[in-house]
Structure 1
Amino acid sequence: MKAADTPGEAGDGFSLLLDDQLCFALYAASRAVTHRYRPLLEALGLTYPQYLALLVLWEHGTVPIKDIGAALQLDYGTLTPLIKRLEASGLVRRERLPQDERTVQVSLTEQGRDLRERAAQVPGAIGDAMGLSTRDFDEARRLLRLLTANVSAEA
């Protein structure tokens, strides 16, 4: 492997400068966006991961916990405590299927369904904070989904 000829150049033509790293731009953007969510979600009594789980339930209704994990790309060990906290807050209910006790279904309580109305302002507030045109927003989402699929396929 050839040593870098200039301080920012790696031997393969890629830069080692922080500002040239796509991974750092993604990391910084993710932190900035989730930071912007924090006060909006605190007013609802939610964390960001809890909000994401509720988005799945608001969209699909009663869902097996494994399907929530698949949608959020979270493993069972991470998702179970999150769902338990939502249940302790009275927002969801967990039930094992009588015909297959290995399957845990998660459903919204009335309180969880009602929270959807209060959460309806969150996406618009975040969209405004992002300051992207509809075209740029759609393109950013498309590219991020492509990047996720490509990197996940390599793993």
Structure 2
Amino acid sequence: MTTPATDWLRLDQQICFSLNAASRAFNGVYRVVLKELGLTYPQYLVMLVLWEHGELPVKKLGEHLRLDSGTLSPLLKRLETAGLVRRERSARDERSVEVRPTAQGAALRERAREVPRRIAAATGLDLAEIQELRSRLDRLTTSLDAYVPKSPSAPS
């Protein structure tokens, strides 16, 4: 008996599985490309935000990366141990911790310039296709964020 392609309970019909498989494949490519920089993929994302914005409070950094402080703190600790970032209590608000790239972290930016080109080449997509895919994924994320209740007490 053959299963129709429109059987929505088939694994190959699940968008979540396709996104997860693509994410795992991307992580594999990033692992190879970022090895030369001595960074993991999450550490690379932290550095991208800091290269773009400079000094930021940990809370704001987490918002950019969509990470909570429990996930972000160990990442920052490893980056600080590697000499790439510096964390300091804010002089304005002692409850807040500011993060900024060190001189070594800023210098790493130059070496990282080839990463996007190498990742793009690995996708097999041209620039227009990459931009369209990113745009669609951004719209998907926005829709999914709007769908999920913001607090545990919100009605489902």
TM-score when normalising by structure 2: 0.89
Q: What is the deviation of 1:125?
A: 0.1
- What residue identity is the alignment partner of 1:58? W
Number of residue equivalences? 147
Q: What is the deviation of 1:7?
A: 5.0
Give, in whole Å, the separation in 2 of the partners of 1:99 and 1:22: 45
Question: Where in structure 2 are there 5+ consecutive unaligned residues?
Answer: 149-156
- Residue 131 of structure 2 corresponds to which residue in structure 1? 138
Select 1:36's aligned residue among 29, 34, 40. 29
Give, in whole Å, the separation in 2 of the partners of 1:114 and 1:42: 16
Quote the RMSD (CA, aligned, Å): 1.5
Give, in whole Å, the separation in 2 of the partners of 1:8 and 1:65: 49
- What residue identity is the alignment partner of 1:103? S
User: Is 2:43 aligned against 1:15?
Assistant: no
TM-score when normalising by structure 1: 0.90
Select 1:88's aligned residue among 72, 81, 102. 81
- Residue 110 of structure 1 corresponds to which residue in structure 2? 103
SS at match of 1:101: coil
Alignment of 1:61-76 (within 5 A): 61-76=54-69
Give, in whole Å, the separation in 2 of the partners of 1:87 and 1:25: 35
Give, in whole Å, the separation in 2 of the partners of 1:121 and 1:129: 12
Give, in whole Å, the separation in 2 of the partners of 1:58 and 1:26: 27
Moved over 3 A (4+): 6-9
Question: Where in structure 1 are there 5+ consecutive unaligned residues?
Answer: 1-5
1:12-33 Cα deviation digits (max 9, x unpaired): x761111111111101111111
SS at match of 1:95: strand
- 8 Å contact 1:8–1:16 — kept in the other structure? no
Percent identity over the alignment is: 54
User: Is 2:120 aligned against 1:127?
Assistant: yes
SS at match of 2:94: strand
